[in-house]
Chain A
Amino acid sequence: MNEIKPGSVLDLRGVACPNNFVRAKLELEEMRSGEILEIIIDDGEPIKNVPRSIKEEGHQILKAEKIDNCWRLLIKKR
């Protein structure tokens, strides 16, 4: 799989729920449909909450990758 180039990157490590999701949501609102946002979130509560909320908003998660104690998500704006 070719590496996808994100148009925007948000490092949300250390940001608690639901602020991590809200910040991703605000960032997505500024982006155009089809653009890619990369976010980095912590394992634990954030990984339990953020991906499902992203999906509920209708965006597509192209890739989820665990790196040490955090997750890198590539989100395609709906």
Chain B
Amino acid sequence: MSEYNLSELKSGGLMKQKKKDLFSLRLRIVGGFVNAGQLIKLSEVARKYGKGHVHLTTRQGVEIPNINFKDVEKVKKELGEAGLQMGACGQRVRTVTACQGRECSHGLIDCLSLAMDIDKEYFGIGGHPHKFKIGITGCPNGCIKPQENDFGIMGRLRKKFIKEKCNYCGLCASVCPVNAIEVNKNSDDIVFYEDKCIGCGDCVHSCPANAWQKTQEGYSVFVGGKMGKFPKLGIKIFDFIETKEKILEIIKKSLIFYKESGIKGERFRDTLDRTGIDKYKKAVI
């Protein structure tokens, strides 16, 4: 990542409030993960330097408002003792959001470890036309709303059908949310429409006979989602990316594309709309 100025990475995280000299401190929280010791430290700092409360952001972050500018360095130091760092504002790669992944009974991937890997590599990198938000959701239920991110990642799986195990009860067809499976009980026959399948794994997890089995887990990718004054949902650009390494590489290339093709002040989606999404796709694969 030598094309980025490393000294710039840790900047940001301070937001000026209406009142003179007061700032809200945004923290670098990854995937909503805060340990119990950090919660105690947040409480201490908010009481000691703020007004005794914190603000929970829409991106799973924590902000401590009402910090006087003269205390900022002391606050940073105290938070640092608990492993809490400053977050990012402005035209940077923002906090990576993530659901609980496999902790949830629906989760198909380990969202937190992916979020941490992405954060480690790209958090706070600036020099882009505008902000860049990344969100990771563990399954097609999409609780983290990947389609609202500049770059959204969704866990999914691929599966196989083992004919010998199937007793044609039809339960898989009943639970499939996209009608990708048809079961004919009379002729002991199953039709699977792979193009319809969204990889949620409901059939795999529900099948009484284990006739549907996971073969692979991977990631769908959405790009160009944003909210704000002119909301747009992300577009699914890749249906199945097999590895974490490939995801990291696509993010890297996406940031380079955004930096090189974007106009200052323009959100990623607007760059994609202006240049054409095919040009972007070619640049990242």
Interface residues of B in 168-209 (CB under 8 A from A): 169-171, 174-175, 202, 205-209
Asked whether any CB of chain A lies closer than 8 Å to the CB of B105, the reply is yes
Contact B105 A73 (CB under 8 A): no
Residues of A within 8 A of B169 (CB): 63-66
CB distance from B17 to the nearest CB of A (A): 43
Interface range on chain A (Cβ under 8 Å from partner):
10 to 19
Per the bound structure, the CA–CA distance linking A17 and B23 in Å amounts to 46
CB 8 Å contact bits of A11-45 with B (1 = contact, 0 = none): 00000000000000000000000000000000100
Given A48-B202, A51-B171: A64 in contact with B105 (beta carbons within 8 A): no
- Decide yes or no whether A10 CB sits under 8 A from chain B: no
Most buried by B among A51, A56, A63: A51
Whole-angstrom distance between the Cβ of A10 and the nearest chain B Cβ: 17
* Closest CB in chain A relative to B4 CB, distance in Å: 44
Chain B 41-70 residues near chain A, CB threshold 8 A: none
Q: Is the CB of B171 within 8 A of A63?
A: no
- CB-based contact A43/B205 at 8 Å: no
Cross-chain contact A53 with B105 (CB below 8 angstroms)? yes
Q: Which of B123-179 contact A (CB under 8 A)?
A: 167, 169-171, 174-175
B residues within 8 A CB of A52?
A: 105, 202, 205-206
How many A-B contacts at CB < 8 Å in the complex? 42
Query: CA–CA, A63 to B166, complex, Å?
Result: 11
- Quick one: CB contact mask for A54-78 with B, threshold 8 Å, 1 for yes? 0110000111111000010100000
Please report the C-alpha to C-alpha distance between residue A65 and residue B168 in the assembled complex, in whole angstroms: 9
Chain B residues near A55 (CB-CB < 8 A): 205-206, 208
Pair B208/A51 contact, Cβ less than 8 Å: yes
What number of B residues sit within 8 Å (CB to CB) of A? 13
Q: Would B202 and A64 count as touching, CB distance under 8 A?
A: no
Q: How far is the CA of A47 from the CA of B174 in the complex (A)?
A: 8
Residue of B105, B202, B208 ringed by the most chain A CB atoms within 10 A: B208
- In contact, A66 and B174 (Cβ under 8 angstroms): yes
Interface centre among A52, A53, A55, A71 (most CB of B within 10 A): A52
Q: B180: shortest Cβ distance to chain A, in Å?
A: 14
Chain B residues positioned under 8 Å from A65 (CB to CB): 169
Q: Which residue of B lies closest to A47 (CB)?
A: B174
| A43 touching B208 in the complex, CB below 8 Å, given contacts A63-B169, A64-B169 | no
Given A48-B202, A52-B202, A53-B105, is A71 in contact with B171 using a C-beta cutoff of 8 Å? yes
- Minimum CB–CB distance from B196 to chain A (whole Å) comes to 17
The answer to whether A63 touches B175, judged by C-beta atoms less than 8 angstroms apart, is no
- With A43-B174, A52-B105 as given contacts, are A63 and B206 in contact (CB-CB < 8 Å)? no
Could you give 11 example pairs across A and B, Cβ below 8 Å?
A43-B174, A47-B171, A48-B174, A51-B207, A52-B202, A52-B205, A55-B205, A55-B208, A61-B208, A64-B171, A66-B170
Interface residue ranges, B against A (CB under 8 Å)? 105, 167, 169-171, 174-175, 202, 205-209
Binding site for B on A (CB under 8 A): 43, 47-48, 51-53, 55-56, 61-66, 71, 73
